[in-house]
Amino acid sequence: MRTFDFAPLYRSTVGFDRMFSMLDQLDGVEGSVPGYPPYNIERTGENAYRISVAVAGFSDADLSIEAKENRLTIRGARQPKEKAGDVLYLGIAARAFERSFQLADHVAVKGASLDNGLLHVELVREVPEAMKPRTIPITSPSKLLEATPTEIAA
């Protein structure tokens, strides 16, 4: 049961619709968060991140990674294999899964690798030059009047 109503904020803000929509989706998160497969999110540099997902028993052919808009989705489905014998105990999870991650603006997927049962997805935040902070020089009218004609020609 949600205790906050974000409706009044919609009419007083511009450009924050996606943020409020994400907050609306958090309703009932405690019971709906899947626990399989487990994962880690690491910061590997100032603008670099790594998501590591435990996918023991899956090969690279069984996994797919899709980045669409600001969402990264990792899916896994094992291909049926011929049985070599009767299984006495099945303790290694082999069920299909789908794990999604919401990415911040300007975060791009750089690559993925499968190593010792861990799928590593490398991410980097690339802020466009137009959005980086820049210093604006301050001029005053008195400095403009003091310029000599030779300074203007140069």
* Per-residue b or e along 36-52, where b marks 16 or more CB atoms closer than 10 Å to that residue's CB: ebebeeeeeeeeebbbe
Write out the two tokens for 129. Answer: 């030059």
Give the confidence band of 2 by pLDDT, cuts at 50, 70, 90. Answer: low
What percentage of the chain carries pLDDT values higher than 90? 32
Tens of pLDDT, residue by residue over 39-69, are: 999 999 988 999 999 998 899 999 999 999 8
The confidence score (pLDDT) of residue 28 equals 47
The per-residue pLDDT for 130 is 81
The region, left, alpha or beta by phi > 0 then psi within -120 to 50, assigned to residue 135 is: beta
- What is the pLDDT at residue 144? 55
The answer to whether residues 107 and 121 touch, using CB atoms and an 8 Å cutoff, is no
SS3 readout for 12-51: CCCCCHHHHHHHHHCCCHHHHCCCCCCEEEEECCCCEEEE
Provide mean pLDDT across the span 6-17: 55
Residues whose CB is less than 8 angstroms from the CB of residue 100 and which lie 6 or more positions away in sequence, other chains included: 71, 72, 73, 74
Mean pLDDT of 4-18: 56
The CATH number assigned to the domain with range 37-81+89-129 reads 2.60.40.790
Q: For 25-34, how does the pLDDT look when each residue is reduced to its tens digit (9 = 90+)?
A: 555 444 445 6
pLDDT of residue 5: 64
Give CA–CA dist 49/46, Å, rounded: 8
Per-domain boundaries in the chain: 1-29, 37-81+89-129
Q: What per-residue confidence (pLDDT) applies to 29?
A: 46
More confident residue, 80 or 27: 80
